[in-house]
Chains A and B, each alone.
Chain A
């Protein structure tokens, strides 16, 4: 194919992987990384490849699996979001010491902003921490090249390599031309060598030395890694200010300088920042009186630059330390840096009038909310009704939005609904307080990291109600299948592992399944569960609230559609708006009471059960 196709950044990465002969790709979904694996699957189907793909149960599992593939001599990749790499950190740190045979690229996608994450953490710091090289592409095209480069580097130096695209690479679109895709994969082989693959601490010391030597060699490589690491200095010329830019920020800086025709400002692009290319950076530093460092999201390059007197960046207060470096922010950063040095500023600076204007318009705040018809909304309503005084520990997924319904009090990390519930229980129990606690966790999150916490809670006799919100998909990240469904990443059948069996295996004796659309039934069940929890012979009660996601399963999810309306019995108590918070419910100023937006309504009929005045009725 010779014509340009538009690729999503994550699709460009997938393309780069298969073009580089990557035979194994594992992943756990998470924004902004989720589309990489499905895009690999799309290529497998269109190009008839035999690449092995899996949705792993979590990121550590994904990395271990990909690592083994790389040890067997194949090229392998594992993909995750940046906080997923925290889960996989145990594997990463050790894999850096052991090294690889074939190529191993860990693709960890960063989310400056953050748009859809708990933190704005910078994967490049994890790379530095683990002592593995990291590549930071500036656009989809470069991400695709770097996917191949990472595998080649990994193989040459026998070291895992991290590719960290930021969200503006993952979710950018760009036209690309497909290249050759190799067909003949390598055969797996494993040569036993316990001193390496099962190294004890004494050997780990030796491996650490090897790792340090590899990093030195790779740093030399990175000194001349054009076009990813390169500057545009004119030899012998001195500059009052240079800009060192990395990753997506490089693209932003490039556009600004080109729009403003500022070729008087040289740029050092560092898209392969670690191991740090000292020589290249040194050249740039010595040609410039001051260097403005623009990198997302933390101070990685800035710390490596030895002459801090010369550097303008986060440490000097020139660059914001939180939030995404969007073009207007970078524009302001460059403009202020120029002005602070008495140099000519940028010409197209706005006066901020538009932003002030918008502020004064008091536009409706659009916070993310559960979809109309979402079964989680019904679950949270029932939970609050049955246990109004409980602490509601929750977890990561669409259902975090249960906080809009007052059904979520905490959200720490994957699996913490359960572990924080047991933590709260013991803290209150120590003071002889029977604090009601209801934990909510999604099906995919439970498979990801629910079991260890539940085993611990059962073993240590914590008491709480756990509601597993089973919508039979990984909804937030784009409807990836779970082990409970038994559908695999390529669409083939896998083994079904029912939640009930896993929960029973964790030692739970109270397990009930309910359809949350039956709000009364679920409310009653939660009360029954509460009795069990506080009985001396009781324990943790698990309720599986099972109803398919209305987005993933559309027709199937709402088989019996009910058109609803609101009568004049509505007294505007706002109970439904506050406690049910359905986007289809709104206050109609003309009618003088709450009404249904029929265009948004999913006709699930759940709201028929919630109005204290019985004003919501079938039409």
Chain B
């Protein structure tokens, strides 16, 4: 298998670490090797948070700028800030309000680099599921709908079932499922 590099970005408190953990655990459950890097300490206090996840036979934990296959962003500004991580042909999934569009200045770069960008109202989806704080799981569900790489959606769902704390398991799965459903609907429309 080719190595696969993920970058996850957002703000402190949005659940970037948990998202990373779910993806990493799914890969490990499949017998794949992983390396991940997290942000702790001072930087966590309300600042930008970036997580790196590398699946495959790699030595280092950080994704080199220009080599991420997937960027998952829980905040629009943080998505733009992390754009340099994306490789040519990379895929970008961004939590953004329903009426949001990709910024004018960014379009030509994404086109030139053949980067697919999908905006998704993950916060609204989480709210619709009754768990406004779980935009991370909504975005993950949305992302899973477009996946056929090393993280199949069914197995990702199993991981959520496996690692969620008891009191959040049901709601986590619900949010993930709604994100997945909306992602699948969007995919079919194309």
Interface residues of A (CB under 8 A from B): 4-6, 8, 31-32, 34, 115-116, 138-139, 168, 171-175, 248, 250-252, 254-256, 258-259, 326-328, 331, 348, 350, 353-355, 357-358, 360-361, 363-364, 366-371, 398, 401, 476-478, 583, 599
Query: In the complex the two chains form, what is the Cα distance from A348 to B86 in whole Å?
Result: 13
User: CB-CB contacts of B24-56 with A at 8 A, as 1s and 0s?
Assistant: 110010000111111111111111100000000
Chain A nearest CB: distance from B145 CB in Å?
25
A255 B60 Cβ-Cβ under 8 A? yes
Whether a CB of chain A sits under 8 angstroms from the CB of B63 is yes
Contact A255 B84 (CB under 8 A): no
Chain A residues with Cβ below 8 Å from B36 are 6, 172-174
Roughly how many angstroms separate A353 CA and B106 CA in the complex, as a whole number?
11
Binds A, one of B75-83, B149-157, B166-174, B175-183: B75-83
Contact A361 B41 (CB under 8 A): no
Centre residue among A32, A248, A363 by max chain B CB count within 10 A: A363
A4 to B32, CA, bound (A): 10
Min C-beta distance of B36 to chain A, whole Å = 4
Q: Is the CB of B131 closer than 8 A to any CB of chain A?
A: no
| A358 and B80 contacting across the interface, CB-CB below 8 Å | yes
B48-77 CB contact bits vs A (8 Å, 1 = yes)?
Answer: 100000000011111111110000000001
Point out the residues of chain A lying under 8 angstroms from B65, CB to CB. Answer: 327-328, 350, 354-355
The complex places the Cα of A248 from the Cα of B37 at a distance, in Å, of 12
User: Are A174 and B35 in contact, CB atoms less than 8 angstroms apart?
Assistant: yes
Q: Which residues of B contact A366 (CB under 8 A)?
A: 11, 46-48
Q: Hey, which bits of chain B sit against chain A, CB under 8 A?
A: 11, 20-21, 24-25, 28, 33-48, 58-67, 77, 80-81, 83-84, 86, 103, 105-106, 109, 132
Q: List 12 A-B contacts (CB under 8 A).
A: A34-B40, A115-B42, A139-B61, A252-B59, A254-B60, A255-B59, A326-B62, A348-B66, A357-B109, A366-B11, A367-B47, A369-B45
**Contact across chains for A139 and B59 when beta carbons are under 8 A apart:** yes
CA distance A173 to B103 in the complex (A): 34
Alpha-carbon gap, A168 to B48, bound state (A) = 17
A108 to chain B, nearest CB (A): 16
Residues of B within 8 A of A254 (CB): 59-60
Residues of B near A4 (CB, < 8 A) are 28
Chain A residue contacts of B40, Cβ below 8 A? 31-32, 34, 115-116, 171, 478
Is the Cβ of A354 less than 8 Å from the Cβ of B109?
yes
Residues in chain A near residue B38, CB distance under 8 A: 8, 171-173
Task: Please give, as numbers and ranges, the residues of chain B lying within 8 Å of A583 by CB-CB distance.
Answer: 46
Task: Assess A116 versus B42: contact at CB under 8 Å? Given A139-B59, A175-B28, A358-B84.
Answer: yes
Given known A31-B42, A116-B41, A175-B33, contact A328–B64 (CB-CB < 8 A): yes
**Assuming A139-B59, A174-B35, is B43 touching A116 (CB within 8 A)?**
yes
Across the interface, do A251 and B41 meet the contact criterion of CB distance under 8 Å? no
Chain A residues whose CB sits within 8 angstroms of the CB of B67 once the complex forms: 259, 327, 348
Min Cβ gap A550→B in Å is 12
| A-B pairs with lowest CB-CB distance, top 3 | A31-B41, A116-B41, A327-B64
Q: Is the CB of A139 within 8 A of B35?
A: yes
Cα distance A334–B39 in the bound complex, in angstroms: 27
How near does chain A come to B1, taking the closest CB pair, in angstroms?
15
Contact check, B105 vs A6: say whether CB atoms are below 8 A apart.
no
Q: Which residues of A contact B80 (CB under 8 A)?
A: 358, 361, 363
CB distance from B135 to the nearest CB of A (A): 11
Partner of B42, one of A354, A360, A371, A476: A476
B70 CB to nearest A CB, Å: 16
CA distance A252 to B52 in the complex (A): 14
20 additional contacts, CB 8 Å, given A175-B33, A476-B45? A4-B28, A5-B28, A116-B40, A139-B60, A171-B40, A173-B21, A173-B35, A173-B37, A174-B35, A250-B59, A255-B64, A331-B64, A354-B83, A355-B84, A358-B81, A358-B84, A367-B47, A369-B45, A401-B45, A476-B42
User: How close is B31's CB to chain A, nearest CB, in angstroms?
Assistant: 8
Residues of A within 8 A of B24 (CB): 6, 173
Q: Which A-chain residue is minimally distant from B32 (CB atoms)?
A: A175
- Set of chain B residues within 8 Å of A168, measured between Cβ atoms: 37, 60-62
Give the complex CA separation of A211 and B172 in angstroms.
58
Q: Is the CB of B42 within 8 A of A368?
A: yes
Instruction: Assess A354 versus B60: contact at CB under 8 Å? Given A6-B28, A175-B34.
Output: no
For B132, give the chain A residue with the smallest CB separation. Answer: A599
Chain A residues near B28 (CB-CB < 8 A)? 4-6, 175
A371 touches B81 (CB 8 A): no
With a cutoff of 8 Å between Cβ atoms, the chain B residues found around residue A370 in the complex are: 45-46
Interface contact A327-B60, CB-CB below 8 Å:
yes
Known: A355-B84, A358-B81. A248 touches B60 (CB 8 A): yes
The residues of A that contact B25 with a CB separation of less than 8 Å are 6
Q: Residue A354 contacts which of B35, B64, B84, B132 (CB distance < 8 angstroms)? A: B84
Interface contact A171-B45, CB-CB below 8 Å:
no
Name, among B42, B58, B77, B81, the residue most crowded by chain A CB atoms within 10 Å (CB to CB): B42
Question: Is B109's CB under 8 angstroms from A353's CB?
Answer: yes
Write out the residue numbers on chain A whose beta carbons fall within 8 Å of the beta carbon of B66.
328, 348, 350, 354
* Chain A residues whose C-beta falls within 8 Å of the C-beta of B39 in the assembled complex: 115, 171
Complex contact A172–B37 (CB within 8 A): yes
How many angstroms between the C-alpha atoms of A116 and B106 in the bound complex?
32
For B105, list chain A residues within 8 Å (CB): 357, 360-361
Contacts A116-B40, A172-B36 given; indicate if A357 touches B46 (C-beta within 8 A). no
**Is the Cβ of A368 less than 8 Å from the Cβ of B35?**
no
Contact B83 A363 (CB under 8 A): no
Question: Within the complex, which residue of A138, A173, A353, A476 is in contact with B59, where a contact is CB–CB below 8 Å?
Answer: A138
CB of B37 within 8 A of CB of A368, answer no
